Structure 1
Amino acid sequence: MWRRMPVLMTVLVFGYAFLYGPILSLMVYSFNENRLVTVWSGFSTKWYGELLQNEQILDAAWLSVKIASVNASLAVILGTLAALALVRFKRFRGRSVMQTMVTAPLVMPEVIIGLSLLLLFVAMQKTLGWPEGRGQLTITIAHVTFSLAYVTVVVQSRLSHMDQSLEEAALDLGAKPLKVFFAITLPLIAPALLAGWLLAFTLSMDDLVVASFVSGPGATTLPMVVYSSVRLGVSPQINALATIIVLVVSMAVLIAGIVMYRKEKRASRLS
């Protein structure tokens, strides 16, 4: 086994270099003075200043953040309810259908999801008069539709491996089921809820295909703006934007990891 270690380490190093090398290169060239992103001509932060003055990108970023936040919150609520139903109620009519519908968006192509939701929104507008056109609302509904599946899987896994003796003891002592859920169950599954929220937020911020189908005039998300900009040539402002996103996401993942570690440690002490 020790003889294989150099080979394994070499493969590991090349693998991480292949994954993170382009990201590191992008971050380095965001400080390039030259407009050409592949020609280094000196250190400069002017592209960050121009980025902060680009109203199109800033408006799209703010719209994406709003949609992602609402999407993540709704997905966590609905996903938690779905996970509770699948884990705690082993037998009920339609359980297999519900399980299939929950996991279907995980494997279904995004083109199919976007097209089907577009046809649904058009039919609803003709029949009910709602929603009026496509925009922020339809994008949020579409994102909740597929983010819900990911959150359900994460929370369901946590609930399946959770010790139910604490809940049973609380019920035996006279606590109401709702009190047990908020005082015991919710704190124990909090790491899964946080992970599901971050996953749903990331999926929404990263989505391009589904949003392209269900968006309309005046509702352009950040991935759509970046994609349309890159098609005309990579701008140093896009490098600056990507660098900011990488730093923000890294900080969020670090904070989430610390919080989840503390939650897990506290839960292990209680159990």
Structure 2
Amino acid sequence: MSALEMPSSGTEEVAEDSLARPQRSVDRLLAGNAWLVFAFLYLPILVLAVYSFNDNDRVGVWGGASTRWYGEMFTNARVMDALWTSITVAVVSTVIATVLGTAAALSMERYRYRGQRTFDGLLYLPVIIPDITMAVMLLLFFVQAFDLIFVATGVQLSRGVGTITLAHVAFNISFVALVVRARLSGLDGALEEAAADLYASRWQAFRRVTLPLIAPGVAGGALLALTLSLDDVVIAEFVSGAGSTTLPVYVFGALRRGVTPLINAVSVLMLGGSILLVLLSLMVSRRRDQQ
């Protein structure tokens, strides 16, 4: 019997090997494609980072490694002003958008009222509207609003840090609401009902039960809003005024005069900040999923 079984065993091994070869070829092809995609996405970033340490004044000519341009960046008054403007706008707009976006998510997920579907559709419009369209809309809104305020009160307002902050709040609310609402949809409403049965008011139930449970979602939405605010250039370009240039707008304007190693250093700084915020957001999301 064993002598009869040996050929069949060898045949099965040959058959399995013949089936595994095409699969291994497909795996190699997919792996190669993945590496090509990663190279296409990240090699330009690597080149940018390397040439930000170029000692030569000309971007495309390597003159040796140096941190000269990073030193000039931190001593450049215009760059530092733009950086602090970006940070101020991002922090203030993120705080406001996080509060309003969380409230909007709660109203959509926990309550039912007339016109809710309409509000739901309007809330997510900034997510799908092109940046240039929203920038023009906000510019027209501020111009018309300032004209009405001047006619009514005689006070002449102008575009600046305040208008940039309000514009960033306007589109960040939707992104925060999306993230927080996703967290709320997986939250058991019976926990809030149990808090009410224990004579907790709505505010106490929210503060002691709901908010701690949705805190990772709120933090993730806030980090997303902060990232979007720091990276925005189109909307900030339209609604900004004299003396209120953000860092992305400064870089965009400087590129019109040509790329310099200083712009490379500023771009690397912005890239590093964005990567850090994305990593923090991923860490918060992973912690949220584990809870």
Please list the CA deviations of residues 132-167 of structure 1 after superposition, one character each: whole Å capped at 9, or x if unmatched.
Answer: 011111111111111111111111111112222322
Matched, 1:51 2:76: no
Among 171, 188, 203, the residue aligned to 2:196 = 171
Inter-CA distance 120–163: structure 2 relative to 1 (3 Å threshold)? same
Distance of 1:165 and 1:25 partners within structure 2: 54
Question: What is aligned with 2:231?
Answer: 206
Amino acid of the residue matched to residue 122 of structure 1? V
Alignment of 1:102-141 (within 5 A): 102-129=123-150, 132-141=157-166
Amino acid of the residue matched to residue 190 of structure 2? S
Question: What is aligned with 1:149?
Answer: 174
Inter-CA distance 251–114: structure 2 relative to 1 (3 Å threshold)? closer
Residues 71 and 144 of structure 1 are in contact (CA less than 8 Å); yes or no, is this contact kept in structure 2?
A: yes
Question: What is aligned with 1:30?
Answer: 52
Among 219, 224, 227, the residue aligned to 2:252 = 227
Question: What is aligned with 1:8?
Answer: 30
Distance of 2:156 and 2:100 partners within structure 1: 21
Amino acid of the residue matched to residue 236 of structure 2? A
Distance of 1:237 and 1:192 partners within structure 2: 37
Matched, 1:251 2:276: yes
Amino acid of the residue matched to residue 120 of structure 1? F
Distance of 2:127 and 2:214 partners within structure 1: 22
1:257: how far off? 3.8
Matched, 1:197 2:222: yes
Residues 135 and 214 of structure 1 are in contact (CA less than 8 Å); yes or no, is this contact kept in structure 2?
A: yes
1:173: how far off? 2.3
1:199: how far off? 1.2
Residues 191 and 260 of structure 1 are in contact (CA less than 8 Å); yes or no, is this contact kept in structure 2?
A: yes
Inter-CA distance 110–247: structure 2 relative to 1 (3 Å threshold)? closer
Amino acid of the residue matched to residue 69 of structure 2? W
Amino acid of the residue matched to residue 199 of structure 2? G
Alignment of 1:81-120 (within 5 A): 81-89=103-111, 91-120=112-141
Secondary structure of 2:244 counterpart: coil
Amino acid of the residue matched to residue 42 of structure 1? G
1:256: how far off? 4.3
Inter-CA distance 209–56: structure 2 relative to 1 (3 Å threshold)? same
Residues 121 and 131 of structure 1 are in contact (CA less than 8 Å); yes or no, is this contact kept in structure 2?
A: no
Residues 191 and 264 of structure 1 are in contact (CA less than 8 Å); yes or no, is this contact kept in structure 2?
A: no
Residues 76 and 196 of structure 1 are in contact (CA less than 8 Å); yes or no, is this contact kept in structure 2?
A: yes
Distance of 2:133 and 2:65 partners within structure 1: 45
Residues 220 and 284 of structure 2 are in contact (CA less than 8 Å); yes or no, is this contact kept in structure 1?
A: no
Inter-CA distance 37–117: structure 2 relative to 1 (3 Å threshold)? same
Distance of 2:287 and 2:185 partners within structure 1: 21
Question: What is aligned with 1:182?
Answer: 207
Inter-CA distance 263–103: structure 2 relative to 1 (3 Å threshold)? closer
Please list the CA deviations of residues 208-262 of structure 1 after superposition, one character each: whole Å capped at 9, or x if unmatched.
Answer: 1111221111111111110111111111111112222333333344344445544
Distance of 2:236 and 2:272 partners within structure 1: 24
- Aligned-pair Cα RMSD in Å: 1.8
How many matched pairs?
Answer: 265
Distance of 1:182 and 1:195 partners within structure 2: 18
Amino acid of the residue matched to residue 161 of structure 1? G
Inter-CA distance 109–248: structure 2 relative to 1 (3 Å threshold)? closer
- TM-score, normalisation: structure 2: 0.85
Distance of 2:136 and 2:288 partners within structure 1: 40
1:119: how far off? 1.5
- TM-score, normalisation: structure 1: 0.91
Distance of 2:156 and 2:216 partners within structure 1: 35
